[in-house]
């Protein structure tokens, strides 16, 4: 299975003319007090430049989504919103995870064009003008894809790239080396609103929308300040989420493994019977009993675990619980002064 290949920027095709859009930058935040001042400075300057160049319309703004931070993140966001017209804040009632916080921002922020990116400045903000140029060419979704991963360690780079290839082999439509740095038009956002996924994996869900897309490449930088909020445990959880949310391949794999084990058991039985009937080398021992027992027991437990994971997803989906609750909003776009 090949990776999803959307329209490239160098593919020239007539596109409809579009007016200057109101641009909303959506940034999920979790304990980002160290990097937030620099992020705000760069993004405010970027929006001012885009408005001066006529690329973005007045009213374009930054929307920070505080995902239940335990540090001073929300206080900083509220202070910026009170003094900077281009900054708004959305506070979740508790930590709901990066994907839910990002979805909250996308579903809440106004604007003709929404750009989602991380707050740690690893996503190159200078790629945003290129993404807007691709939108003006008629693309509804523009993916920002890493051209290289020099800022990542060897292990993270190898495992991440291997994971993208694994998803593609399993039939999941993903862009290689794309995370959540993307532009979406209002039309695409409203289409995404119709999806009521309980277990979110947006980098696999957005390609399901099917609109015309483009790709912009950027060099991912090292984190400006603070520490990563995605340790190995969360990365593995997100990886498993992507697999189990978009493919039933693990369930089919269980069927294949079961068939192979059954075939191997029949062959071993035939071999043991042949030794017993036609030779004098049959030697009773514990290995012939214990090894197959542990092998089959392990496969059965693994199979039950995979099946249980899918059943748990069905169970949680049927409850239809809200994916997030907004506790407070600040900023002129919401008509709120603080919270």
CA dist 238 and 26 (Å) reads 20
Supply the pLDDT for residue 87: 96
Q: pLDDT tens for residues 297-310? A: 767 767 776 777 77
Which distant-in-sequence residues (6+ apart) come within 8 Å of 150 by Cβ? 219, 220
**In-domain check, residue 151:** yes
**In-domain check, residue 339:** no
Q: pLDDT tens for residues 71-80? A: 999 999 999 9
**In-domain check, residue 1:** no
**Which residue in 63, 50, 58 sits closest to 22, CA to CA?**
58
**In-domain check, residue 44:** yes
107 and 35 co-located in one domain = yes
Does the structure show a pLDDT above 60 at 190?
A: yes
230 and 108 co-located in one domain = yes
For residue 87, list its beta bridge partners: 62
**In-domain check, residue 141:** yes
Strand 23-29 with 113-116, pairing:
parallel
296 and 182 co-located in one domain = no
134 and 270 co-located in one domain = no
DSSP structural state of residue 202: H
- Rounded to a whole number of angstroms, the CA Rg of the chain reads 25
CA dist 18 and 55 (Å) reads 11
**Which residue in 110, 113, 75, 112 sits closest to 91, CA to CA?**
75
CA angle 86, 127, 151 (to 5 degrees): 110
279 and 241 co-located in one domain = no
Does the structure show a pLDDT above 80 at 291?
A: no
149 and 236 co-located in one domain = yes
Q: Number of structural domains, the chain?
A: 2
CATH, residue 76? 3.90.550.10
Query: In terms of residue numbers, what domain contains 279?
Result: 249-319
257 and 193 co-located in one domain = no
**Which residue in 64, 59, 65 sits closest to 113, CA to CA?**
59
303 and 176 co-located in one domain = no
Does the structure show a pLDDT above 50 at 119?
A: yes
235 and 281 co-located in one domain = no
CA dist 60 and 113 (Å) reads 9
CA dist 201 and 222 (Å) reads 24
**In-domain check, residue 15:** yes
266 and 187 co-located in one domain = no
262 and 194 co-located in one domain = no
218 and 286 co-located in one domain = no
**In-domain check, residue 194:** yes
**In-domain check, residue 289:** yes
CA dist 236 and 243 (Å) reads 11
CA dist 330 and 85 (Å) reads 11
């Amino acid at each position: 299975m090949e990776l999803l290949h959307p329209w490239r920027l160098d593919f020239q095709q007539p596109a409809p003319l579009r007016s200057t859009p109101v641009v909303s930058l959506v940034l999920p935040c979790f304990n980002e007090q160290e990097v937030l001042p620099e992020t705000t400075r760069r993004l405010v300057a970027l929006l001012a430049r885009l408005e001066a160049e006529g690329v973005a319309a007045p009213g374009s703004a930054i929307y920070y989504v505080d995902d239940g931070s335990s540090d001073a993140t929300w206080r900083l966001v509220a202070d910026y919103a009170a003094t900077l017209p281009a900054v708004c804040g959305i506070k979740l009632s508790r930590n709901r995870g990066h994907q839910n916080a990002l979805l909250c921002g996308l579903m809440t922020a106004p604007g003709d064009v929404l750009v989602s990116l991380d707050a740690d400045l690893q996503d190159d903000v200078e790629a945003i003008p290129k993404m807007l140029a691709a939108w003006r060419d008629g693309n509804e979704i523009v993916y920002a894809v890493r051209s290289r991963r020099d800022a990542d360690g060897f292990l993270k780079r190898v495992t991440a790239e291997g994971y993208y290839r694994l998803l593609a082999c399993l039939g999941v439509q993903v862009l290689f080396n794309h995370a959540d740095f993307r532009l979406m038009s209002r039309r695409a956002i409203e289409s995404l609103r119709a999806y009521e996924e309980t277990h979110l994996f947006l980098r696999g869900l957005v390609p399901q929308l099917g609109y015309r897309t483009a790709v912009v490449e950027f060099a991912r930088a090292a984190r400006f300040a603070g520490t990563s909020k995605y340790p190995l445990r969360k990365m593995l959880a997100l990886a498993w989420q992507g697999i189990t949310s978009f493919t039933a391949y693990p369930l089919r794999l269980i069927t294949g493994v079961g068939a192979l084990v059954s075939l191997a058991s029949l062959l071993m039985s035939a071999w043991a019977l042949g030794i017993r009937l036609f030779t004098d080398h049959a030697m009773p021992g514990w290995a012939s009993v214990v090894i197959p027992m542990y092998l089959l027991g392990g496969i059965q437990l693994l199979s039950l675990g995979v099946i249980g994971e899918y059943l748990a997803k069905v169970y949680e989906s049927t409850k239809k619980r809200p994916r997030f609750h907004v506790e407070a909003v600040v900023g002129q776009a919401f008509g709120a002064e603080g919270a």
